[in-house]
Every structure is written in C-alpha cells, then in structure tokens.
Amino acid sequence: MHEIVFVLVPATLSFCIGMLMTPALTYYLYAHKVWKKRAGKMAYDGTQASVFNSLHAHNEIRAPRMGGIVVWGSVFLTVIVTSLLSYIIPSAQTFQLDFLSRSQTWIPFATLLIGAYAGFLDDLMVVRESGEGMPLTVRLSIVTLFSTFIGWWFFAKLGVVAIGIPFFQPLVIGVFIIPFFVLMSLALYASGVIDGIDGLSGGVFGSIFAAYAIIAFVQGQADLAAFSAAIVGGILAFLWFNIPPARFYMSDTGTMGLTLCLGTIAFMTDTLGGGVGIFVLPVIGLLLVLTVLSDVLQLAWKKIFKRKLFRIAPLHHHFEALGWPGYKVTMRYWVLSVVFAFAGVIIAILGR
C-alpha cells in the first residue's frame, strides 16, 4: 500500500466516525442541558469582562460544551478500528493501517486522552448550577505535573537533550529539556482560549495538525503522520457542526487534549525525527502565539499604564469589538492559519 494512502485512510475514517457519532452526542448534550447555566465571564484580573459579555454572554447559554469529544472520540475509535482490523484480517495492508506504535504514537495518543479527560472534568464542573469550573491554579498544576512527567520521559527514556535549529546544528540544553517542555505545554494550554468564536478553533487547529502530519510524513514517521492526520479528520468532523451557528463548543475537553498533544508531536518531529519540529511550532501556530501574547500584553499594560491596550483580549475578540462580524474573524483566521502552516512546513523541510 502506498504510504500516502496509509496516512489518508485514518484521516478519512476519523472524519466519518466523527460525523456518525455527532448526532447521538448532540442529542445527549442537549437532553442533559450541558451548557453554562449562567451567562457572563470574569477577566483574568478578577473584574467583569464587560466587553466580552456584551458580545458573547448570550452564546454561552445557547449551545452545549464538550464538543471536543467529537475530536478525541473519533481518533480513539479510529485507533480501535484500525487495530482490530489488523488483528481480524492480518495482512501487510491492514498492519500498515494500524498506526498505534510504541516508537511514534503512544506518547502523543496518551497526552491527547489524558488532557481530554482533565478538560472533561473541568467542563463537568462548569455546567453545574454554580457555573464554576476548576480553579485556574488547579488546571495549571495538572498541566505542569503531567508535562513534567512527559518531559522527563523524553529526556530519560528517549534521550532528547537538544532542540533542532534550521540550517544549523541542534542546540544542546541537556536536562533543561524538561522545564522547556513544561513551559511550552503551559503556553500551548493558554492558547486554548482561541476557542472563542464559532468555527475559529477548529479551523486553526486543523491547519496546525495537518502541517505536522506533512512534516512527520517527510521524516519517514508514518505512524505519527497517520495519527496527526486522524486528528485532522476528527477536527473536520467537529468543524462541520461548529460552523456558525455552532451546535456545540469545543471547550476544555477539546482544547486541553489538543494543546498538550501538539507539544508532544512537536517534540516527536524535532531531533527524534531528525527535524526542527519545535522551532517551527511558533510559525505554524503563530495565531496561537498571538492569542497568548495579546492576553499577556493586556494584563501587563493594565498593570503598568492602568488602561487597556486592546479593547478586549485575546486578539480575536478585539477584532469583534472593532465591529468585525464573528464569521469574518473566523474565516480570516482560517486563511492565515493555512498560510502559516505552509510557511512552517517549508522551513521544516528545507531546514532539516
């Protein structure tokens, strides 16, 4: 079987599974009213997010959370189906389709599921009558502890001690690869706030994981490429139902799993794969970087100058506050996410 088919079949299967499972999931979420019971949001400094609430407060109680189940659920079922297929009908072709391997996909698959589970618990708390999820400190502690373990695994078990630099020798940082991975994971988790407008997060994450599927494929990491492509398939199924007006929101069960998984895939496509997967992450995920940076700048600006830099942070809501319709912000982010993905892939391939 041609290797590109081996990558595309899991993506297609994941999309089909996601499309098939969504009606049942939607029925359950609406039947059990899995949405915030009280509209409104607080800013990071503890004050009322008045601009956000004027734009989106009504949407928070319009549609259910937990739409991210479509993404990780379809990937999980795709792994089960391809593994069973290779067991029931053993052949060279079915063995190739089984992309769950210890050397390439166990770690990212584990981070996807564990991150999704932690986010799921937070969503369960948010949809209670109190409307309060896990405190931010608890969520950050979970990400820190889990990413510390994964960072240690990369260092102690897989021998990762350097970061790939395009056109140059890798930068050796030794044991500091562990705190580096932790900081990267925290930054990626913070970028999950891009899930703020119908269709926005799905399009951006889809482009990012598609880029890493290409990078892994070029490196000869076929299992990792197939896994990344399966995630893209699940995201596209989610996006089908998240296009305005969204049937549900991705929420933490989707964004926490995806952002933690993205960090491990970046590491797997770095020196382990003879590439520069970490270096190109800020390029491929530039919209995620700008999302986090706008939040940080907003907080710092208010603290130092006692006024806002943006009308509202993160950046995509600032554009809404300027009068851009949500669909215009979303589609322009989609366009930019594809362009940045192209740029990152080019650097990753030429800079190996």
Which of 48-52, 62-66, 218-222, 315-319 shows the lowest per-residue confidence on average (mean pLDDT)? Answer: 48-52
pLDDT of 93 reads 81
Q: Measured between alpha carbons, how far is 225 from 99 in angstroms, rounded to an integer?
A: 9
Work out the average pLDDT over 63-73: 94
Q: What are 243-257's pLDDT values in tens digits?
A: 888 899 999 999 999
Q: What are 327-339's pLDDT values in tens digits?
A: 999 999 999 999 9
- The answer for 306, left when phi > 0, alpha when psi is -120 to 50, beta otherwise, is left
Q: What are 117-130's pLDDT values in tens digits?
A: 999 999 999 988 77
**Global pTM value:** 0.94
pLDDT of 229 reads 97
Confidence of residue 49 (pLDDT cuts 50, 70, 90): low
Under DSSP, the state recorded for 131 is -
Cβ 223 vs Cβ 104: under 8 Å:
yes
Cβ 46 vs Cβ 269: under 8 Å:
no
Alpha helices in 32-105 (DSSP H): 50-60, 69-88, 92-97
Q: What are 167-222's pLDDT values in tens digits?
A: 999 999 999 999 999 999 999 999 999 988 999 999 999 999 999 999 999 999 99
- The answer for 274, left when phi > 0, alpha when psi is -120 to 50, beta otherwise, is left
Confidence of residue 48 (pLDDT cuts 50, 70, 90): low
Q: What are 27-38's pLDDT values in tens digits?
A: 999 998 888 877
Exposed (0-12), middle (13-18) or buried (19+): which is 162, by Cβ within 10 Å?
middle
Please give the mean pLDDT across all residues of the chain.
91
Cα dihedral value 49, 50, 51, 56, nearest 10:
80
Under DSSP, the state recorded for 36 is -
Give CA separation, 181 vs 54, 80, 148, 198, 203, in Å.
Answer: 37, 29, 7, 30, 25
Bridge partner residues of 48 (DSSP): 42
